[in-house]
């Protein structure tokens, strides 16, 4: 067993599961979506993205692209949350919360693609 592959797979799957945990709940209810969970999603996705930089294969390039797409979505969600909560007087309205959750949903799709590619790559490995 290759410890590097274990850590790599762990962070890819953890990024997806944390993102799913944040995404689940009523779209427009801020009480169902915790800001610390979103922070954890961003940190774990960032770690997963950094781990993908070392792979020089075509599969590695696609995995990196999915991570970058997820990071863009998550950064946009954090920016929307931060602006709504701290720069405006309206706060987290149902509409703003729905936008944040929608952005994290896009990141979750990118994470699903990463996990599927990881599974495909694992199945294709020969001993």
Which pLDDT tens digit goes with each residue over 36-81?
Answer: 999 999 999 999 999 888 778 888 899 999 999 999 999 999 999 9
User: Domain containing 105: what range?
Assistant: 3-124
Mean pLDDT for all residues in the chain:
91
Burial class from Cβ neighbours inside 10 Å (0-12, 13-18, 19+) for residue 105 reads: middle
**pTM, full prediction:** 0.89
Query: What's the domain count of the chain?
Result: 1
> Token pair of 13, please?
């799957």
> Token pair of 78, please?
């954090």
Q: Which residues, 6 or more positions from 102, have their beta carbon under 8 angstroms from its beta carbon?
A: 27
User: Which of 98, 108, 111, 80 is CA-nearest to residue 33?
Assistant: 98
Task: Give mean pLDDT, residues 21-39.
Answer: 90
Burial class from Cβ neighbours inside 10 Å (0-12, 13-18, 19+) for residue 21 reads: middle
Give, in degrees to the nearest 5, the angle at Cα 16 between 10 and 22: 130
């Amino acid at each position: 067993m290759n410890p590097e592959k274990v850590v790599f797979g762990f962070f890819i799957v953890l990024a997806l599961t944390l993102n799913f945990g944040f995404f689940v709940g009523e779209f427009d209810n801020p009480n169902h979506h915790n800001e610390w969970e979103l922070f954890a999603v961003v940190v774990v996705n960032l770690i997963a993205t950094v781990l993908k930089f070392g792979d020089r294969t075509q599969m590695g390039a696609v995995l990196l692209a999915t991570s970058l797409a997820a990071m863009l979505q998550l950064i946009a969600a954090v920016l929307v949350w931060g602006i709504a909560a701290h720069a405006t007087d309206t706060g987290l309205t149902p509409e703003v919360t729905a936008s944040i959750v929608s952005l994290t949903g896009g990141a979750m799709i990118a994470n699903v693609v990463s996990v599927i590619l990881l599974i495909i790559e694992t199945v294709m490995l020969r001993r």
